[in-house]
Amino acid sequence: VVDLAGNDYLGLSNDPRVVEAGIQALRSWGAGSTGSRLVTGSTTLHADLEAKLAAFGRVSSALVFSSGYCANLGVLTALGGRDTLVISDADNHASLVDGCRLSRSRVVVAAHGDLAAVEDALAHRTEPRCLVVVDAVFSTDGSLAALDDLHRLCVRYDALLIVDEAHALGVIGPDGRGLAAAFGIEHSPNLIRTVTLSKSLGSQGGAVLGDSAVIDQLVNTARTFIFDTALAPPSVGAARAALGIIQDEPHLISELHDRRDQIAAALQVHPPAGAVISLVLGDSERASQAAAHCRDNGVVVGCFRPPSVPVGQSRLRITARASLTAADIDRATAVILEAVHHPR
Ligand SMILES: Cc1ncc(COP(=O)(O)O)c(C=O)c1O
């Protein structure tokens, strides 16, 4: 089958160098990390990955979690609290939504991309502290956050902007360094970024990038860091190798963009800035049938229905990958068009 559903944007999860690095880590350190990060789970491999992620993100520190989900929960629960207002975009990923809920903060959900709603909440806050939380690339529709405007608001109203770069790392921005880097705000003291190691890095795990004071605070208070078994060494080794490849081989990112543009052109949709193309079909039954038609014809696409998207906005979610061939794209897009325009 042709896979247009996965998040392995640069095709690195099966890259022989990434696989070999995972095997080496497995041999050197074992299958599991044996404990939480503060007990026995931290290896020099974890520390080295953190140093490399911080250098890539142009910040002083990074902290690896066992998943992107845990990274988001960890940041929001550690930095939120009863004295904090959290302003969250309505289309944020479930891990950010759950982090907001667990943070015990008052949460204002702003309509998707509604800067006026964010500013209104900031201007009228009664809490001494405030976090604004957003996906850089929204995972279901592939749209981008207006990070420059949000960042400006956060500086003006003394709030911290938490950006989830899960679908932006290795995909957009200079050398694939993400959306905050594209806007030149990565050094801002008002910014913290979370990433996952499971998409363009082709491995597993998550991380938070920020300055050392914030990372120290997370080490001491983020419950998903403290009370969770550390990321397994093979995943750490594989992610570290993948990060090196992204830095050494920027052509992979251009190839991803070319494949994305070819898919968008064939499907006659506007190419997105990231690698996620969303075809909204409306009815969940219709989306399921279209996805089944694709699968029956050897093409796997994402089928997003409620609760992943609002009722009436079910869709096919299609992802580009640098390693797709022109033949894969021709065949897959013909099948998708047939599924969308000639439903059974
Ligand atoms: C935007 C976003 N944030 C966070 C996550 C969670 O990352 P992980 O799968 O590493 O837990 C995902 C998806 O998996 C995601 O799409």
State whether the beta carbon of 142 lies less than 6 angstroms from ligand 1.
no
Is residue 313 very low, low, confident or very high in pLDDT (cuts 50, 70, 90)? very high
**pLDDT for the residue 127:** 98
Q: What is the dihedral of CA 94, 302, 178, 159, to 10 degrees?
A: -20
**pLDDT for the residue 115:** 98
Is the predicted pLDDT of residue 33 greater than 90, yes or no? yes
Q: What is the mean pLDDT of the chain?
A: 97
Is residue 140 very low, low, confident or very high in pLDDT (cuts 50, 70, 90)? confident
Q: Are 296 and 333 in contact, with CB atoms under 8 Å apart? A: no
Beta bridge partners of 279: 316
Ligand 1, atom 9: nearest CA belongs to which residue?
68
State whether the beta carbon of 203 lies less than 6 angstroms from ligand 1.
no
**pLDDT for the residue 199:** 98
For ligand 1, pick from 198, 208, 304 the residue to mutate: most ligand atoms within 8 Å of CB: 198
First to last CA, the chain: 21
Is residue 344 very low, low, confident or very high in pLDDT (cuts 50, 70, 90)? low
Distance of CA 3 to the CA centre of its chain: 19
State whether the beta carbon of 274 lies less than 6 angstroms from ligand 1.
no
**pLDDT for the residue 342:** 78
Is residue 343 very low, low, confident or very high in pLDDT (cuts 50, 70, 90)? low
Mean pLDDT, range 53-65, rounded to an integer: 98
Give, in degrees to the nearest 5, the angle at Cα 225 between 43 and 198: 75
Ligand 1, atom 7: nearest CA belongs to which residue?
68
State whether the beta carbon of 198 lies less than 6 angstroms from ligand 1.
yes
| The pairing of beta strand 299-304 with beta strand 314-319 | antiparallel
The string of pLDDT tens digits covering residues 73-118 is 999 999 999 999 999 999 999 999 999 999 999 999 999 999 999 9
The string of pLDDT tens digits covering residues 220-279 is 999 999 999 999 999 999 999 999 999 999 999 999 999 999 999 999 999 999 999 999
Mean pLDDT, range 42-46, rounded to an integer: 97
**Identity (one letter) of the amino acid at 75?**
V
Torsion region of 24: left, alpha or beta (phi above 0 gives left; psi -120 to 50 gives alpha):
alpha
Distance from C-alpha of 247 to C-alpha of 227, rounded to nearest angstrom: 32
Distance 166 CA to ligand 1 centre (A): 6
The string of pLDDT tens digits covering residues 292-302 is 999 999 999 99
CA of 72, closest atom in ligand 1 = 4
pTM over 0.75: yes
What percent of the chain has a predicted confidence (pLDDT) above 70?
99
State whether the beta carbon of 304 lies less than 6 angstroms from ligand 1.
no
For ligand 1, pick from 13, 95, 97 the residue to mutate: most ligand atoms within 8 Å of CB: 95
